[in-house]
Amino acid sequence: MRVAVIGGGAAGFFSALAVKDNHPDAEVFILEKSPKLLSKVKVSGGGRCNVTNGNTSIKDLVKAYPRGAKLLKKGFQVFKTNDTMQWFEDRGVSLVIQEDDCVFPVSQNSQTIIDCFLTESRRLGINIMTKAGVDKIVVVDNKLKLIFTKEPSIDNTFDKVIVATGGSPRRQGLDWLEDLGHQIVSPVPSLFTFNMPSESVRDLMGVVVENVLVTIPGTKLKADGPLLITHWGMSGPAILKLSAFGARVLSERNYQFEVLVNWVAEQNQELVSNVLKEITKDHPKKQIVNYRPFGLPVRLWHYLLHKCGLPLDKTWQDLGKKGLNRMVAILTNDQYQASGKTTFKEEFVTCGGVSLESIHPLTMESRVVKNLYFTGEVMDIDGITGGYNFQAAWTTGFIAGKLS
């Protein structure tokens, strides 16, 4: 059996290795259009490669995927995060689970992952070709004929083909798969930070708040977690999560939208008000500037008091009902205008791709072309940060590699 894997990235390598595990006699080719293999793995996680996540609960894992959760729910029953860890450990790659559940190689170097894939491919006799871009797939009887950008010197007819070409930021990049009859979901970026050019909060760049709740009015979008104030606006896990779940809506709004920040991640205003009343009782003579509720960072607290027009030297006992209400409002419902986005350098992915309607979830085989399989980001699957995007590649690659 001759098998072609189109794309020499994470999903391509993992599926090619799985093919050899399942079908040792298969002749397997990885066909990569660029001169480089695994280039995203190299730069991933800031050069450290956040290879998966330490959480092993399928119920929790699927929550990390704005797109593809349903398909992955099935896939994780076959191969999930702990299987990934075992897979790498079995091949001599020691991993470490960070406190935030992100999993990295102990070497803290993505090259370790690349070396593992290359060594395994060599051991299993996988043929790797670079500068071998595939333009088109033609169905000939029961076989698949690949048309290359620049014809390489190999027989271009295969029994099975796995498409692992990654996310395509442009819709046209998916035309060749649409031509075969697959439905395409238009691609838009996911995992970006919010630009807020008109907001003075940017002066607080570098400030981190441990747990906020961010929402976008007029939508159901909400996310919690740490928030980082940057030179351009806002970033951090809460914002990235919001960008992922809101990828499509925010694109439709041309990245012009309002953001509400609940700095204390508590929606019950009465509870927040009670905490402030306690302070008034316990520290009546303290100036509001000198007693920060909810452990908010100093610079942020000063900024918020300023923003809601409360004099910093006011004492807690002089705050009054109006002052207290103002404080509650700014803590729980602070408004910002976002205008534009910035690519998050650590990780970005594409929302959209080959529609999951066109793919069989138990095999990853195309529903329209027999013997054609998909894996990785080329599909309409993407996750939030935390190793989830690679995990989607490993899971779908493991399943596609069965060629069932």
Instruction: Give the β-pairing of 160-163 and 372-374.
Output: parallel
Contact 288, 312 (CB under 8 A): yes
Nearer to ligand FAD, 237 or 323 (CB): 237
What is the edge-to-edge ordering of all strands in the sheet holding 233-235? 334-339, 256-262, 208-215, 222-229, 233-235, 192-195, 341-343
Q: Which amino acid is at 216?
A: I
Among 4, 5, 11, 26, binds ligand FAD (CB under 6 A): 11
Least distance to ligand FAD from the beta carbon of 276, Å?
A: 40
Among 3, 8, 184, 398, binds ligand FAD (CB under 6 A): 8
Q: Which of residues 49-68 bind ligand FAD (CB under 6 A)?
A: 49-50
Among the candidate windows 26-34, 76-84, 251-259, 312-320, which touches ligand FAD by CB under 6 A? Answer: 26-34
Whole-number Å distance between alpha carbons of 4 and 19: 10
Residue 236: both structure tokens together: 């951090």
Any idea what DSSP says for residue 46? H
Is 243 an interacting residue with respect to ligand FAD (CB under 6 A)?
Answer: no
Among the candidate windows 112-120, 244-252, 329-337, 371-379, which touches ligand FAD by CB under 6 A? Answer: 371-379
Q: Which amino acid is at 72?
A: L
Is 120 an interacting residue with respect to ligand FAD (CB under 6 A)?
Answer: no
Any idea what the Cα angle at residue 354 is, between residues 362 and 239, rounded to 5°? 100
Q: Which of residues 124-163 bind ligand FAD (CB under 6 A)?
A: 133-134
Among 17, 18, 164, 296, binds ligand FAD (CB under 6 A): 164
Is 6 an interacting residue with respect to ligand FAD (CB under 6 A)?
Answer: yes
Q: Which of residues 300-359 bind ligand FAD (CB under 6 A)?
A: 346-349
Least distance to ligand FAD from the beta carbon of 223, Å?
A: 18
Applying CB under 6 A, the site for ligand FAD has a residue count of: 35
Is 33 an interacting residue with respect to ligand FAD (CB under 6 A)?
Answer: yes
Closest CA to 323 of 306, 313, 336, 310: 310
Nearer to ligand FAD, 280 or 395 (CB): 395
Is 395 an interacting residue with respect to ligand FAD (CB under 6 A)?
Answer: no
Among the candidate windows 6-14, 72-80, 206-214, 278-286, which touches ligand FAD by CB under 6 A? Answer: 6-14
Q: Which amino acid is at 283?
A: H
Nearer to ligand FAD, 287 or 355 (CB): 355
What is the SS3 assignment for 76? helix
Tokens 């992922």 locate to 244
Nearer to ligand FAD, 65 or 303 (CB): 65
| DSSP state letters, 126-172 | -EEESS--EEEEEEETTEEEEEESS--SS--EESEEEE-----SSGG
Contact 50, 108 (CB under 8 A): no
Least distance to ligand FAD from the beta carbon of 207, Å?
A: 25
Among 20, 40, 67, 241, binds ligand FAD (CB under 6 A): 40
Distances 240 to 160, 224, 228, 255, 258 between C-alpha atoms, Å: 37, 10, 10, 14, 15
Least distance to ligand FAD from the beta carbon of 214, Å?
A: 22
Exposed/middle/buried for residue 392 (C-beta within 10 Å: 0-12, 13-18, 19+): buried
Which residues are at the interface with ligand FAD (CB under 6 A)?
6-12, 31-34, 39-40, 43-45, 49-50, 133-134, 164-166, 346-349, 376-378, 387-390, 393
